[in-house]
A and B are shown apart, each in its own frame.
Chain A
Amino acid sequence: MKLALKIWRQNDASSKGKMVDYTVEKIEPDMSFLEMLDILNDELIVKGEDTVAFDHDCREGICGMCSLFINGEAHGPDRLVTTCQLHMRKFKDGDTIYIEPFRAKGFPVIKDLVVDRSAFDRIQQSGGFISVNTSGNTIDANTIPIPKHDADKAFDAATCIGCGACVATCKNSSAMLFVSAKVSQFSLLPQGKVEAKERVLNMVNQMDAEGFGNCTNTGACEVECPKGISLENIARMNREYLKSSII
């Protein structure tokens, strides 16, 4: 395949960026999207040009490191996959592909397609944990009976890899799907109930402080989420927040 690429290039966080046109050839349908970018970067190195910076790590959809807004969608046109799991068979010979960084006030661009997602870390640090005594007398979590329904819901929420696709795709740059998944994965389990009130208040407060927008329930985040995190978590977070605010 021969493809025309329009890629966001930006030297650093303080400089202005712009879309730059590139062409790549001999792209195989079985290549991953990131491999296609690797080929582009190889060609740029040969030409002595600056390579395109993009985030990646595990390249198997687990770590949540890869991002990219491809042809107007977070992680590209496929569903329930991260960019590293996106294959070039989803594109046709002669296509023009727009590749942009995840855009949000809370995700400032560091360079080219790399954004700073440490806002998510700060939200997690504000309450996304449970306090457990790790002195050596820790009780095995499996000794506490938990209804399967609750365990399944908590696990579903915990599959969130914190990639930020929800923020990137939301027209309001809202982080509520991420935060609600992190609230839910604890609040559904007995171990998480002890700090439930402080957790939801602190995490929502930190989310707002990071400059993310407000959820308007378009549902775009759920559609684009590579792990299929449900909007049900946002409703649960809203309930938890209201309950914690009132009581």
Chain B
Amino acid sequence: MTNSTILKSSIAKKVAMALSGLFLITFLSIHFFVNLTSVFSEELFNMMAHFMGNNPIIQFVMQPILIIGVLFHFIMGFVLDFKNRSSRPIAYAKYNGASNASWSSRNMIISGIVVLSFLGLHFYDFWVPEMAYKYVEANPLNAQRYYHELGEKFESPIRTAIYSFSFFFLFLHLWHGFNSSFQSIGVNNKYSKAIHKFGYAFAIIVPFGFIFIALFHHFNH
């Protein structure tokens, strides 16, 4: 069997989805940690945001890898969903999916689309202005601006509500996605129970933590 056949195989695609998902989970953890500091200390948050926004390795190595990772995960998600739908040309008249699988596991494409839409808004809110500030307008470095910019964004109740709604769907996506990633890469052993517990805890703590941060800044600015 040729290498190209192997790369096109269902298992290779599944593993690629899992690895890109785990990569995004790692990024999400770092993002959450940085954002969480904004609740406790303006100074610490500014320092961390300034570091993340100006460190050349993060900016010119990690950031492009992250964007490629996000694009890959979403494109592959759509490709696999299309393939999977075409694998049943005639739908059942009655399909009781809820009897044997969770909503989150059956609707990863829906939760994924909501998260993707949110990322569009998030890029428009933070990433695009940041790129314009640094590389288009070429403003001087200002390590004190991040906390106030964050607070300004969450003044709007509509934006805060959209963020909270989106993070709820991120919770649903992670609720299945975290543990599914490990199953896909072949991890199903004596540590699986612990991984599952950690995965469910992560799926709750991180998205609802982000919602807490958004609400915190909405009500404190």
Contact = CB atoms under 8 A, between A and B. Distances in A.
A118 interface: no
Interface in B140-197: 176, 179-180, 183-188
A117 to B, nearest CB: 15
A223 interface: yes
Given A173-B84, A235-B187, A238-B186, A69 B92 contact: yes
Contacts, number: 134
A213 B92 contact: no
B220 interface: no
B57 to A, nearest CB: 29
A72 B84 contact: no
A208 B9 contact: yes
Interface stretch (A36-44, A102-110, A156-164): A102-110
A218 B10 contact: no
B45 to A, nearest CB: 37
A172 interface: yes
A125 interface: no
A215 interface: yes
Interface residues on B, range: 35 or more
Given A216-B84, A238-B14, A71 B94 contact: yes
Contact of A231 (B1, B8, B9, B188): B188
Contacts of A120: none
A9 to B, nearest CB: 12
Interface of B is mostly: helix
A214 B100 contact: no
B14 A215 contact: yes
A19 B93 CA distance: 8
A81 to B, nearest CB: 14
A6 interface: yes
B92 A223 contact: no
A211 B87 CA distance: 6
Interface in A57-116: 69, 71-73, 77, 98, 100, 103-106
A176 B15 CA distance: 14
A219 B100 contact: yes
Contact of A216 (B8, B108, B186): B108
B50 interface: no
B94 A98 contact: yes
Interface string B1-44: 10001101111111100000000000000000000000000000
Interface string B84-117: 1011111111111101111001101000000000
Given A171-B106, A204-B9, A217-B176, 14 more contacts: A73-B96, A105-B87, A169-B100, A171-B101, A172-B88, A174-B10, A205-B9, A207-B10, A208-B8, A208-B9, A216-B80, A216-B105, A235-B183, A238-B183
